[in-house]
Chains A and B, each alone.
Chain A
Amino acid sequence: AQKVTQAQTEISVVEKEDVTLDCVYETRDTTYYLFWYKQPPSGELVFLIRRNSFDEQNEISGRYSWNFQKSTSSFNFTITASQVVDSAVYFCALNKGGGSEKLVFGKGTKLTVNP
């Protein structure tokens, strides 16, 4: 069975601090896909990034970066120089591939960035 663990329930930082959101996943599949979604206070789910299990290259997009490490089954998300608009719940999700389309979500990490 697939499982995603986001151990940090809530994180609070001051603007301009860097913050890392942890995600640990479990799957027996060799091909799988990992995602991060943002849920701002307005409630919608916004897609941020997708990674497949064969691509361990880290990715940077502006102030966002992602660190994928198969050896530790982790897919961590770092926000550099956080801003108040980054305040949201962030979900890590896993798709096991192999004919399944469903996303298995972690419980989310609520990030509050204070001015």
Chain B
Amino acid sequence: EPEVTQTPSHQVTQMGQEVILRCVPISNHLYFYWYRQILGQKVEFLVSFYNNEISEKSEIFDDQFSVERPDGSNFTLKIRSTKLEDSAMYFCASSVRGRGDEQYFGPGTRLTVT
């Protein structure tokens, strides 16, 4: 069964460093997403991406964040200058269609900023 994959599973970085989180969505899916979950809290939407551009973003997704689909398979989230409060589990998801469609999530990348 096709699944969303994410690398790395765990990333430790120092405050102020740049990190890139990588995702490979399900191959026939057209919509891609990033969510985050601070430890023990609810899952929060960051950004959705369709047709090579951002279709929606939350207030969390400020200028420190960017997304890219550098080739036909990868989807990346870059945090330019990490802060302690960026420590969280970051989930990538994908769906065939947009609104209302079920989103399939990857296993997550745990980001720890020290």
- Chain A hits for B55, CB < 8 A: 101
Chain A, residue nearest B98 (CB): A101
> B100–A95 contact, CB under 8 A?
yes
The size bracket of the interface on B is 20 to 34
* A33 close to B (CB within 8 Å): yes
Residue of B nearest to A102 (CB): B45
Is the CB–CB distance between B42 and A108 below 8 Å?
Answer: yes
Q: Give the dominant DSSP class at B's interface.
A: strand
The answer, among A33, A44, A50, A101, for a CB contact under 8 Å with B105, is: A44
CB-CB < 8 A to B107: which residues of A?
Answer: 42-44
Is B76 part of the binding interface, using a Cβ–Cβ cutoff of 8 Å?
Answer: no
Chain A contact residues: helix, strand, loop or mixed: loop
Near B by CB (< 8 A), chain A positions 66-115 give: 91, 93, 95, 97-108
9 closest cross-chain pairs (CB), A and B: A45-B105, A102-B45, A33-B100, A105-B43, A101-B48, A44-B107, A107-B42, A101-B98, A50-B102
Residues of B within 8 A of A (CB): 31, 33, 35, 41-45, 48, 50, 55-56, 58, 89, 91, 93, 95, 98-108
User: Contact residues of A with B, CB < 8 Å?
Assistant: 31-33, 35, 37, 42-47, 50, 52, 91, 93, 95, 97-108
Chosen A-B contacts, 9 in total, with CB atoms closer than 8 Å, are A35-B102, A37-B105, A47-B103, A47-B105, A97-B100, A101-B50, A102-B45, A103-B103, A108-B42
